[in-house]
Structure 1
């Protein structure tokens, strides 16, 4: 088995999915590199609906 420290997770995009994935991998001790093309993260001004399964994951990660 490969040790977690020898792996690195690379995520393209810092939207809700990318940020959630980064948090989940980091919580498990994996180093994460997150790439986003925007110079600054900001709200897009649109609504967002999340399914109950998604909100359970976000709650477990401590971001709700």
Structure 2
């Protein structure tokens, strides 16, 4: 990601069990999945430099 940066990275984990419903405390999850959330912030200086570099027919 040349023209953007990630800020406020957060990960949340979700446990998946064999049975439906609320698991007991003794149950072990069958698998785990993770979700990553972040805020994407454009880097204005790099974007402007690329626009100038593209010249007259820029599409950014």
Per the normalisation by structure 2, the TM-score is: 0.24
Q: Whose helix proportion is higher, 1 or 2? A: 1
Larger Cα Rg: Structure 1 or Structure 2? Answer: 2
TM-score, length of structure 1 as denominator length: 0.23
